Amino acid sequence: MPKSIEQLRRDAKALRKAYEAQDTRANARIQNYPPRSDGAPLKHADFLHVIALENSFASWPQLSWAAETVGLDRAAKQQRLKIAIYHGQNWVIEALLRDTPDLAADNFGLQCALYDRAAVLDALKADPSLAVRDFGPRRPILHLAFSKYIHDRPDLEGDMLAIAGALLENGANVNDGFPSMPGEDHLLSALYGAIGHANNLVLGRWLLENGADPNDNESLYHSTELGRHDGLKLLLLHGAKPKGTNALLRAIDFDDVPAVKLLLEAGAEVDEFNDEEIGGEKPFVIPALHQAARRMSGREMIETLLDAGADATRVYEGMAPYAFARVFGNDALSQALTARGHTTTLSPIERLLAQIADNELPGGTFIDPAKMPEAARNIVRLILHLPGKLDHIERLVEAGAEYDLADDQGLTPVQLAGWEGLPEVLGYFLGLKPDLGHINGYGGTLLSTIIHGSENGPDRAARDYVTCLELALNEGVALPRRAIELAGEPHVAAFLADWAEAHPGQVVEGGVA
């Protein structure tokens, strides 16, 4: 039973009182959902805002309006339905609609996202302006494009396309977009929603055929993440230009030689690296040979890059490709560079790191993290997800490498190990006693990061997130009640519910889910 609006107001007052008393849990809740960025003292409205965010509403006024118009119980279910559609939590969608069949009846955005053709066409006939109105943070064509419901109901493909056509006829823009975060100038396009987010190539093709711009600075890059090449080929066919997208570098992440070759054939320059921030984030990639080194790319990828003209002498953050290969332990790359005459003299710290990679460091030898090249400073975090690298990590830590250093996104190694769903690696880092209260740049805790990985990690089908959650919970991390309610994977949700029943004292109100 959801709380009343008055109970939520009291929760905001209690949160403020606890925060001003420097309560650790209250401080973590504010870090999870920072209500302001100007550093000014928090006011009552800021705590109301945090309560709204914790309950899946964008703001307190939105929560309050929903409570007054449709009732808080129905509004909360609708918010949960929106989240489920966006994230592809189809079992949640089915449960909500089974419990409340008319849940989307008064929400045009939800009707579009659920491919309710009859309802959408009737509504547009009565009021064509619905096609271009805001419904929450997005307009209808964006609700349609970012919906993952097609994977549960492929039989509704015709209805989905009919809705797309009706929205277009009534003024919707196929190049519409919305900011990933309030106030951001960079927009996430409908095309990115269809191809990069929802993996909905049918709708992506329709958008392109109806004038969507393939050069939206998102879609091509993310098309390399789909695990197949039809999205990439579709975008290239419709004129997507690799220049400035870092798509080739992202394909290296997956050792995807065919994707790299497709991009090279389409005009990608192997040595191009765009280091500009997008949506407030630094790139997750680096120049080609350095990227291949740290991702442990195989010989075919390496030869493809070198044959395409990759600069074997390029220095990135103080390190040449050969040094990168030696430090990260990529023998395939160091051997290929040696064969082509591109070895370089290692600096003293590079030589020590190479000895660690090769398991040849003399006993009693230690490294000074402050002297490590910037590109390798967080090597522990950079290699922990790779198969067979735990021994390498253990040697690095034993020699003095930092094991709890946050990356540019604020993610620490223990959090990333959890996000990757790697219990053995997570258990190793937990044994080092890292900061389990750390809040990353996304506002996430260790627990919420594991849950996020279970729904979004590229290798999630083969990973063990339940064991990771058990390891974290056995360390005493808090279990927010909302985490149980919002978990998108059924087995994860079931495990958390069982844990909450067995350990009620670990369950807390509020916090990030």
State the residue for tokens 């914790």.
54
Q: Residue 96 has what pLDDT? A: 93
Angle of CA points 422, 428, 431, to nearest 5°: 135
> Are the C-beta atoms of 110 and 48 separated by less than 8 Å?
no
What the chain holds in terms of domains, given with CATH numbers, is: 1-69 (no CATH), 405-513 (1.25.40.20)
Tens-digit pLDDT profile for residues 20-65: 888 888 888 888 788 887 778 888 888 998 888 888 787 888 788 7
> Would strands 187-189 and 177-179 be described as parallel, antiparallel, or unpaired?
antiparallel
Longest dimension (CA), the chain: 79
Q: Two tokens at 159? A: 């209805």
Letter string b/e over residues 325-351, b meaning 16 or more CB atoms within 10 A of that residue's CB: bbbbbbebbbebbeeeebbbebeebbe
**Range list of β-strands (E), 397-442:** none
Q: Two tokens at 355? A: 């000895």
Identify the three-state secondary structure at position 188: strand
The residue among 354, 366, 371, 269 whose CA lies nearest residue 318 is 371
Q: Residue 70 has what pLDDT? A: 66
Q: Residue 247 has what pLDDT? A: 98
The residue among 485, 417, 441 whose CA lies nearest residue 56 is 485
The residue among 213, 212, 272 whose CA lies nearest residue 246 is 272
Q: Residue 66 has what pLDDT? A: 76
Per-residue pLDDT of the chain (513 residues; tens, 9 = 90+): 567 788 888 888 988 998 988 888 888 888 878 888 777 888 888 899 888 888 878 788 878 877 776 677 888 889 899 999 999 999 999 999 999 999 999 899 999 999 999 999 999 999 999 999 999 889 999 999 999 999 999 999 999 999 999 999 999 999 999 998 777 888 999 999 999 999 999 999 999 999 999 999 999 999 999 999 999 999 999 999 999 999 999 999 999 999 999 999 999 999 999 988 776 678 889 999 999 999 999 999 999 999 999 999 999 999 999 999 999 999 999 999 999 999 999 999 999 999 999 999 888 899 999 999 999 999 999 999 999 999 999 999 999 999 999 999 999 999 999 999 999 999 999 999 999 999 998 889 999 999 999 999 989 999 999 999 999 999 999 999 889 988 999 999 999 999 999 999 999 887 665
| pTM (2 d.p.) | 0.86
Tens-digit pLDDT profile for residues 89-132: 999 999 999 999 999 998 999 999 999 999 999 999 999 999 99
For the chain, first and last CA: distance in Å? 18
Rounded to whole angstroms, the Cα distance separating 115 from 219 reads: 23
Q: Which residues pair with 225 in a beta bridge?
A: none
Alpha helices of 114-213 — where are they, by DSSP H? 117-126, 140-145, 157-169, 190-192, 201-209
Cα-flanking dihedrals φ and ψ of residue 287, to 5°? -55, 155
**Helix H or strand E segment including 507:** strand 507-508
Q: State the chain's mean pLDDT as an integer.
A: 93
> Are the C-beta atoms of 282 and 275 separated by less than 8 Å?
yes
Q: Residue 76 has what pLDDT? A: 86
Task: DSSP for 468-498, please give it.
Answer: HHHHHHHTT--EEHHHHHH--SHHHHHHHHH
State the residue for tokens 């094991």.
403
